[in-house]
């Protein structure tokens, strides 16, 4: 563990912010917690003695504070963050805080544009198959790294899913094994350029020493840090073929196998997990087969690269639901992928018109549906037995849903309503 500040401000009170505030309180820090939303359920924080401020980001909240812990959804341009930096206060992500609280724990950290949640789930299955204690934490996980303070056993590995937003604000974070899955255009609305996005992602490796391992795609460019470099490729030999479909999932499997070997796990355990791991919710998740039509939930495809990978996983005709909130991406590459296969598109949300423009250029059939309900019903009506209705939006969900999970669950309910 490391010395913690006497008084800290936690900014942003979603899962990671609440985890950070509670961890700081467990170690005796006085904690001020703030969120610009007034709709946050902060009952646990108040009960733990946290001073909670909702619906405000007044600069006076920093008075007397020695540290600001910033949630990943809070941009660096936020007034309180800028003021903290002006005052010379350290600004940490919850990831940095959790690492400092768990300094002796071996961490296997996974980042990348796509495939993080699936690969983390597969790694968890591999560790379990090997009889090794493992705890799962991080971005898109129910448990945050700070939650494991005092809960993870000394001999347990921690598999931690890590986003670029979290890596923006690390100082000493150092995974025993760091895994970069891929790097493609995403979050340009936040990072502004691919180079800035790349820089944030590669901070995963910057504090690694020669005792650590950095796992990257074969022929990937230079990375920071001194970790021993280990490469993987989708065509690498595996002890078993993965149960989950798609070429991208074989690549995820190759990455997980390389990282697991770096953690000392044998081929038999890796093979057992590959043969049995069914995948994660909201990622190519088969919801139902109704009237010979399969309904697949890929709500976690929140960028065009993820949607292209989902499309390539299927050879049969598709009715694909696309759209959501914009993230600064071009839809040209996605439209090119759609043009290569028998497909009908059903468009929803803020991204409808930008996607429609690209589909028009390639004469791809589509329907403007506005919301998810009409899109599911129209896609179901158009699909023939043997075909697939695929929700793979290629966009974030924030125009109509709180997150991709809520969007995926709405899709599930709408599909169930189609049953006779």
- Residue 218 to residue 225: CA distance in whole angstroms: 18
Name the active-site residue from 114, 139, 249, 297. 139
- Residue 48 to residue 63: CA distance in whole angstroms: 21
* Residue 187 among the catalytic residues: yes
Name the active-site residue from 53, 70, 114, 116. 116
10 Å Cβ neighbour count for 413? 12
- Could you tell me which of 122, 121, 157, 119 has the C-alpha nearest to residue 273? 122
Listed in sequence order, the DSSP H helices in 109-187 are 116-129, 164-167
Token pair of 222 as six digits:
């230079």
* Residue 116 among the catalytic residues: yes
Is-contact 382 336, C-beta < 8 A? no
Q: DSSP characters for 57-78?
A: --GGGGTT-SEEEE-TTS-TTS
How far from chain centre, in Å, is Cα 39?
24
- Residue 128 to residue 122: CA distance in whole angstroms: 10
How far from chain centre, in Å, is Cα 401?
16
- Residue 208 to residue 410: CA distance in whole angstroms: 42
3-state helix, strand, coil in the chain (%, to 5): 35, 20, 45
Name the active-site residue from 187, 201, 300, 327. 187
* 3-state DSSP of 188-256: HHHHCCHHHHHHHHHCCCCCCCCCCEEEEECCCCCCCCCCEEEEECCCCCCCCCCCCCCHHHHHHHHHH
* Residue 139 among the catalytic residues: yes
**Catalytic positions, please?**
116, 139, 187
């Amino acid at each position: 563990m490391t010395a913690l500040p006497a008084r800290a401000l936690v900014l942003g009170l979603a899962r990671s912010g609440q985890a950070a505030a509670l961890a700081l309180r467990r170690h005796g820090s006085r904690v001020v917690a703030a969120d610009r939303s007034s709709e946050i359920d902060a009952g646990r924080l108040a009960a733990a003695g946290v001073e909670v401020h909702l619906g405000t980001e007044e600069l006076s909240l920093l008075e007397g504070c020695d540290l600001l812990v910033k949630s990943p959804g809070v941009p660096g341009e936020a007034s309180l963050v800028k003021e903290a930096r002006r005052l010379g206060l350290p600004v940490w992500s919850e990831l940095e805080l959790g690492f400092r609280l768990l300094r002796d724990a071996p961490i296997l950290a996974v980042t990348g544009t796509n495939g993080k949640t699936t690969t983390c789930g597969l790694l968890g299955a591999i560790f379990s198959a090997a009889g090794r204690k493992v705890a799962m934490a991080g971005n898109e996980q129910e448990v945050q790294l700070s939650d494991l303070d005092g809960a993870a056993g000394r001999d347990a590995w921690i598999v931690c899913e890590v986003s670029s937003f979290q890596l923006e604000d690390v100082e000493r974070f150092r995974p025993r094994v760091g895994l970069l899955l891929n790097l493609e255009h995403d979050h340009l609305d936040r990072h502004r350029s691919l180079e800035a996005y790349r820089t944030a992602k590669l901070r995963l490796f910057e504090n690694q020493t020669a005792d650590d391992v950095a796992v990257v795609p074969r022929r990937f460019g230079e990375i920071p840090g001194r970790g021993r470099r280990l490469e993987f490729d989708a065509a690498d030999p595996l002890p078993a073929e993965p149960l989950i479909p798609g070429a991208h999932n074989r690549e995820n499997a190759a990455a997980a196998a390389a990282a697991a070997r770096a953690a000392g796990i044998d081929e038999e355990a890796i093979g057992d997990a590959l043969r049995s791991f069914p995948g994660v919710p909201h990622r190519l998740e088969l919801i139902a087969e109704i009237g010979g039509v399969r309904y697949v939930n890929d709500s976690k495809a929140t960028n065009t690269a993820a949607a292209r990978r989902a499309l390539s996983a299927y050879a049969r005709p598709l009715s694909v639901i696309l759209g959501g909130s914009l993230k600064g991406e071009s839809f040209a590459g996605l439209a090119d992928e759609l043009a290569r296969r028998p497909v009908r598109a059903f468009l929803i949300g803020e991204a409808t018109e930008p996607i429609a423009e690209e589909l028009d250029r390639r004469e791809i059939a589509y329907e403007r549906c506005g919301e998810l309900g009409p899109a599911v019903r129209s896609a179901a009506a158009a699909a023939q037995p043997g075909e697939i209705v695929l929700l793979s939006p290629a966009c974030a969900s924030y125009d109509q849903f709180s997150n991709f999970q809520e969007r995926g669950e709405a899709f599930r309910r709408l599909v169930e309503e189609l049953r006779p």
